[in-house]
């Protein structure tokens, strides 16, 4: 016992300070791809290389519409490798949680050249990716949750058909490094005890009814967080004979957390953003 205590004192505190301070990421970590639309001469190569269709083109006479969907993106980097004009680079950004599905879209309109490439950017509409949703940490967040929900935040994780990549990252939230319980957040076994559903994977046809019943069994006020590209849009699996697609095809979603899989800090960011969304809803209900 004394040996264990001595080792603990020697190691010290291992819990990181995120979100109070920025997360430390490896130099090899790949976050969202960033697009320089003014330098992007031809999106066709990147679109052809994208395995999920996150980059799509639509041509009309004289114009080209290029849409980038971070809800489909798995951060693989294939688009950056395929692009020969250095207009795409992989970043380490992961705080991409969004309240609305459309907030994960970027749309650019170009003039078309005669050779099929594009030039003269007309306009860019950027999705409102909200990285400032995390405002309270530690005791302040715990007090906020108690005021909102009357107790600590209880999460029921639902695997609706994932590859278990997201589950590995969710499990890491409970380890000493991330220690999600320091915020008064804990995972529970029953949806009847939960305030939030954390849903992963493209919703398979076999899990569609189970997910609906889980949602119905969760008491109000309840929150739903769709995790990863699969949870947002179906990801690499899309919609087919075996999968319905994203979580919002079955139940309402409050926050979308992109990634494949999202790192633990990205999950924490999305969970805290969801709590902020719940506060707005609760006060709106009180005013009504």
CATH for 173: 3.40.50.12280
Q: Find the domain containing 68 and state its range.
A: 33-126
Give the count of domains, the chain: 2
The predicted pLDDT at position 11 comes to 57
Paired with 123 in beta bridges are 109
Residue 172 sits in the same domain as residue 274: yes
Q: Which of 99, 126, 153 is the last residue of a domain?
A: 126
Q: CA-CA distance, 52 to 236, in Å (whole number)?
A: 5
Say if 131 falls within a structural domain. Answer: no
The predicted pLDDT at position 13 comes to 65
Beta-carbon count within 10 A of 98 CB: 24
Q: Which of 92, 126, 160 is the last residue of a domain?
A: 126
Say if 7 falls within a structural domain. Answer: no
Residue 267 sits in the same domain as residue 155: yes
Q: Are 181 and 140 in contact (CB under 8 A)?
A: no
Residue 86 sits in the same domain as residue 213: no
Rg (CA), the chain: 21
Say if 21 falls within a structural domain. Answer: no
Query: Three-state DSSP class for 274?
Result: helix
Structure tokens at 18: 């995120």
Residue 38 sits in the same domain as residue 145: no
The predicted pLDDT at position 27 comes to 82
26-to-22, 70, 93, 117, 125 alpha-carbon distances in Å: 13, 21, 12, 36, 31
Residues of the chain with pLDDT under 50: 129-138, 278-288
> What are the residues whose beta carbons fall under 8 Å from the beta carbon of 2, sequence distance 6 or more?
none
Residue 146 sits in the same domain as residue 171: yes
The predicted pLDDT at position 135 comes to 40
pLDDT tens digits for range 95-148: 888 888 988 999 999 999 888 888 888 888 877 544 444 443 345 555 655 665
Residue 61 sits in the same domain as residue 178: no
- Helix (H), strand (E) at residue 224: strand 223-227
Residue 253 sits in the same domain as residue 148: yes
Say if 133 falls within a structural domain. Answer: no
Q: Are 98 and 255 in contact (CB under 8 A)?
A: yes
Say if 84 falls within a structural domain. Answer: yes
- pTM given for the model: 0.85
Residue 114 sits in the same domain as residue 80: yes
The predicted pLDDT at position 284 comes to 37
Say if 243 falls within a structural domain. Answer: yes
Say if 14 falls within a structural domain. Answer: no
Q: Are 272 and 98 in contact (CB under 8 A)?
A: no
25: phi then psi, degrees, rounded to nearest 5:
-120, 150
Residue 94 sits in the same domain as residue 65: yes
Say if 283 falls within a structural domain. Answer: yes
Residue 254 sits in the same domain as residue 189: yes
Q: Which of 105, 126, 147 is the last residue of a domain?
A: 126
Residue 156 sits in the same domain as residue 222: yes
Residue 222 sits in the same domain as residue 262: yes
> What are the residues whose beta carbons fall under 8 Å from the beta carbon of 104, sequence distance 6 or more?
69, 70, 71, 96, 98, 127, 129, 232, 256, 258
């Amino acid at each position: 016992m004394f040996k264990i205590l001595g080792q603990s004192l020697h190691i010290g505190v291992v819990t990181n300070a995120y979100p109070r301070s920025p997360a430390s990421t490896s130099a090899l970590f790949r976050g969202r791809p960033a697009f320089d639309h003014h330098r992007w001469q031809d999106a066709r190569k990147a679109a052809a290389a994208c395995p999920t269709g996150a980059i799509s083109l639509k041509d009309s006479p004289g114009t080209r519409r290029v849409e980038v969907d971070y809800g489909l993106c798995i951060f693989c980097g294939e688009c950056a490798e395929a692009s020969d004009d250095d207009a795409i680079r992989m970043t380490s950004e992961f705080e991409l949680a969004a309240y609305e599905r459309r907030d994960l879209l970027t749309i650019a309109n170009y003039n078309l050249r005669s050779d099929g490439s594009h030039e003269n950017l007309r306009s860019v509409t950027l999705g409102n990716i909200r990285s400032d949703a995390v405002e309270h940490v530690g005791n302040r967040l715990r007090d906020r949750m108690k005021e909102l929900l009357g107790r600590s935040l209880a999460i029921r994780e639902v695997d609706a058909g994932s590859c278990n990549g997201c589950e590995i990252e969710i499990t890491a939230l409970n380890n000493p490094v991330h220690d999600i319980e320091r915020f008064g957040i804990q995972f529970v076994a029953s949806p009847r005890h939960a305030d939030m559903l954390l849903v992963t994977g493209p919703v398979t046809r076999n899990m569609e009814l189970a997910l609906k019943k889980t949602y119905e069994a969760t008491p109000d006020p309840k929150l739903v967080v769709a995790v990863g590209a699969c949870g947002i849009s179906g990801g690499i699996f899309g919609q087919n004979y075996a999968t319905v697609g994203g979580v919002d095809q079955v139940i309402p979603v409050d926050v979308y957390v992109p990634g494949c899989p999202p790192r633990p800090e990205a999950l924490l960011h999305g969970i805290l953003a969801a709590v902020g969304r719940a506060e707005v809803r609760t006060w709106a209900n009180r005013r009504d």
